[in-house]
Structure 1
Amino acid sequence: MKTAKLDKLREQIAAIKAEIVSVERAQLTTPEIEARVDGFIQEMKRTVANDVLDSAGTLTYINQLGSGAGNWPVVGSWMHARPAIGFAMAVTLNPEAFRAMVLEAALKELNGGRQEHATGRVELVEQLRGKLRLLEQDEEAEVLRLEENGIDALRRADADPAVVLGLAA
């Protein structure tokens, strides 16, 4: 048998559990997404600076002369061995266009969904789990009260065993 109090507690428990899932699955905030894209662009610029620009001095040696793609054999060999360097160079040469294009695609994915700041997410989930534990303790107390009064109250299948057994958190 159920009571209004037990029903209310179970509604609150279900709401808190849904909120926990919502927070855990929430997308990053728009500023965090922008920071990720900006960080990626900086990484591409470092790749170009480290792999291409640092080798610009090889152009000054006579043994590096040639024609066409052979004018800078070091970079030519990188292009074959590491095709990603071409992508890094494209991003470096036009970071604004790349940023706009990627942000437009990423923000389109938000679709009005929930966004949570990454740094506050863990704390929020911990707070919600604390509230959940208190509600489940109240629920167990109500179940025990009902049983003491001869009323058969079924426990939820997903009730926290530690709460049912009265174990400390």
Structure 2
Amino acid sequence: MNLFEVILSIHIGLGMICLLSGMVSMLAAKKKGRHTRWGEVYHGAYAALAATAIMLSIWKWSEIAYLFYIAVFSYGLAIYGYLARKQKWKSWLQHHIRGMLGSYIGAVTALLVNIGDSIPLLNMLPSLFYWFLPTVIGSPLIYIVGRRYRKKPSVSKKISY
């Protein structure tokens, strides 16, 4: 096994960790504990996943340059969502939701672009669909989740007459 294959194996393992930990975090109650622990696993694995994706794409640029762009953009979303929570930005929850779910869409997109043609039923779609299907499905979900967790204006902030 050469070094590229070793890094690729690590990358695939990290991708599996991201997809699983992201799903567990998404499904967990949104409070300290399970959600935050699995979210930390997701973020750490995603950082390493992006690093391996960048290495692999540079190594075989003419074949998989697209992986570089997916990695940079998707990890940008992950760090955006992560920092929004850690630094408690104004409206941090909305930023956190958009960033973390957006990065998950990026991970699913990368997965489909690479192995979508070997997944039954999906392999019946044109390969261009692998690039857009996660976003088409995921974007409305980001909106729905964002609305669900949007803070309601407090009584004191309402306009009085």
- TM superposition score normalised by structure 1: 0.26
Q: Name the structure where helix makes up a greater proportion of residues.
A: 2
Structure with greater Cα Rg? 1
By relative contact order (CA 8 Å, sep 6+), the higher-ranking structure is 1
